[in-house]
Amino acid sequence: MKTSDGMEYRPKDVTVQAGSAVRRRWLMFMLFVITTFNFIDRIVFLTLGQPIKQDLGLTDLQLGILGGVSFAIFYSFVGFPIARLAERTSRVRLIAASVALWSLMTTLCGATGSMVQLLLCRIGGSIGEAGVQPAAMSLVADQYPPSRRGGALTVISLGMPLGLIIGSTAGGWMAQALSWRMAFFIVGGPGVVLAFVTWLTLREPVRGQFDSPQSRETTDQPPSVMQVLRVMTSRSSCRNFMLALGLTSIGAQGIGAFMFPYFVRVLHLPLAEAGLMFGTIGGMAMGFGMMFGGFGVDWISRRDGRWYGWVPAIGLSLAAPLYLVAFIGNDVTVSLVALTLGGMFVFMHFGPTIAVLQNMVGSRMRATAAFLFFFISNLVGMGIGPVSIGFFSDVLARRAFPSGNYIEMCPGGLAPAGSASGLAQACQHASAVGLQQAMAGCACFLMLGMIFYLRATRSVRRDLALDFPQSSEMATGTLHRAFPLK
């Protein structure tokens, strides 16, 4: 990029200090801890899904609604006004309030006695979680130049695999040793303390100090959401990245939501062992995948911007067949190894996708751009993936049931107490087969995601080289000249 005086501008050469090193490290540490607790609270529900299903007599479709679409809809739509608020006001205060809200709602899940009550608590928790990630991504973008954002965002995102390990392992153990209700009480409480620490110790960095002089907005008023959308959708690579993210998220979120029940029903692992396997495999896969994708793309994209698309595409091309191997067979060792490697390759998409979307917008657009990333990942991925697996699992279980109505004769996937052994075995077999086949089919979405990541590589270098319009250009309606639709 060149400035108005014709001088070459390279973001990686910026020497502006975004606050002291100690303050920057503390911000990164706190956002990492917040992300960890965020995922602990979220994963605990998925880990407790099987005992909740049996205790409340739910179907897989109802479990998919609780674990997916109910959370995703409110997370996504409430996240929009919160992300817009983060462009105007203190992002630190928004994060602190959000942490307190989701922690309280997680605790209340343990006091519910019906699906409706549990659904309301899940909605409240989704509203709290919606306020964290867009504001956090915006804070990081104002602390690091573009050449280091992929790695910085990955460091914070590593709280996800850590939270997955803690939440699933502790959740599985508590479900077996205590109860699923007590598990919610235990994991929800510490978040309130974390909210107060966030409020008292974090500080706001200066917005946009790592942007080029020409791309830095000249007004304190952020552009409207339609202007941000026009900036992003005017770039063909950005459109393909968002489509690829949506398709990948459907497969990844769907598989993740039902992996714990898969361990219990298909691989016949006890609850505590299933929780340990779920956490260990998911944590390793997510952690290594994010590190390879995030840090790797920071290094290799300096040579060629097309690696923002090539890295996720390569990962998905390897992940899809590994998932099929895992779900087609019944061998425990083969399934666990394939799931670990497949998950690792899937999560290589995370760092490159969010980094490239942050690098394509200006400083007053980044919280909104981060919201769009999580909107697609959650509303599309979590909203469609778990519900689709739950629906087809029920349908396929009915087909695998030898006679009678599977839903009525096998409430919660189990035969009623005192039933004949033949009915108990038939219910268990149908429940396992339905879930196994539904999860294998969901892996096909990963191949579709790979196709759109490859399409994005055709224009990503050109799109990253475009300057951001100044706010005055936006206000006078000249955005179409800066970003001609292609």
pLDDT for residue 483 is more than 50: no
Task: For 351-386, write each residue's pLDDT tens digit.
Answer: 888 888 877 777 667 667 777 777 787 778 877 888
> What pLDDT is attached to residue 299?
79
Find all residues with CB under 8 Å of 12, minimum gap 6, and list them: 145, 146, 147, 148, 302
- Phi, psi for residue 119 in degrees, rounded to 5: -65, -45
CA atoms within a 13 Å half-sphere pointing along the CA-CB vector of 84: 12
Task: Tell whether the model's pLDDT for residue 73 goes beyond 90.
Answer: no
Residues whose CB is less than 8 angstroms from the CB of residue 318 and which lie 6 or more positions away in sequence, other chains included: 341, 342, 345
pLDDT value for 476? 34
Q: Decide: 51 and 414 in contact? Cβ < 8 Å.
A: no
pLDDT at residue 469 in the model: 47
- The percentage of residues in the chain with a pLDDT greater than 70, rounded to a whole number, is 82
**Going by C-beta distance under 8 Å and a sequence separation of 6 or more, which residues neighbour residue 90?**
204
Over the stretch 259-317, which tens digit does the pLDDT of each residue have?
A: 888 888 888 888 778 878 877 887 788 778 877 877 777 777 778 888 888 999 999 99
Type of residue numbered 432: A
Give the pLDDT confidence score for residue 149 in this predicted structure: 61
**Tokens coding 475:** 């206000």
Q: What is the mean pLDDT of the chain?
A: 77
Summarize pLDDT for 190-245 with one digit per residue, the tens.
888 888 898 888 877 666 555 555 444 444 566 776 777 787 778 888 899 999 99
Q: Angle 431-436-440 (CA atoms, 0-180°, nearest 5)?
A: 150
Q: Residue 210 has what pLDDT? A: 57
Using pLDDT thresholds of 50, 70 and 90, give the confidence band for residue 76.
Answer: low
pLDDT tens, residue by residue, 135-147:
777 777 777 766 6
Three-state SS annotation for 331-362: CHHHHHHHHHHHHHHHHHHHHHHHHHHHHCCC
User: For the chain, how far is it from start to end, CA to CA, in angstroms?
Assistant: 20
Please give the Cα distance from 176 to 182 (Å, whole number). Answer: 11
Q: What is the band of 151 on the pLDDT scale with cuts at 50, 70, 90?
A: low
Superfamily of domain 20-205+221-482 in CATH is MFS general substrate transporter like domains (1.20.1250.20)
Give CA separation, 108 vs 44, 55, 103, 124, 442, in Å.
Answer: 13, 17, 9, 10, 32
In this structure, of 84-88, 358-362, 447-451, 457-461, the range with the lowest mean pLDDT score is: 84-88
Which residue's structure tokens are 């609780």?
A: 66
For residue 209, the model assigns a pLDDT of 58
Residue 486 has a pLDDT of 36
The torsion of the CA quartet 476, 481, 485, 486, rounded to 10 degrees, works out to: -170
> Mind listing the pLDDT tens digit for each residue in 320-360?
999 999 988 778 889 989 999 999 999 898 888 888 887 77
pLDDT score of 482:
35
CA 339/CA 328 separation, integer angstroms: 12
Domain boundaries, the chain: 20-205+221-482
Place of tokens 């759109």: 452
Can you give the pLDDT at residue 367?
67
Rounded mean pLDDT, 21-47 = 83
Asked whether residue 96 carries a pLDDT value surpassing 50, the answer given is: yes
Segment 396-405 mean pLDDT: 85
- Flag whether pLDDT at 485 surpasses 50: no
Q: What is the pLDDT of residue 451?
A: 95
| pLDDT at residue 69, as a whole number | 67
Supply the pLDDT for residue 221.
Answer: 61
Q: In the numeric block, which tokens belong to residue 26? A: 């503390």
Closest alpha carbon to 250 in 39, 443, 462: 443
Query: Residue 1: is its pLDDT beyond 50?
Result: no
One DSSP character per residue, 366-408 reads: HHHHHHHHHHIIIIIIIHHHHHHHHHHHHHHHHHHSSSS-HHH
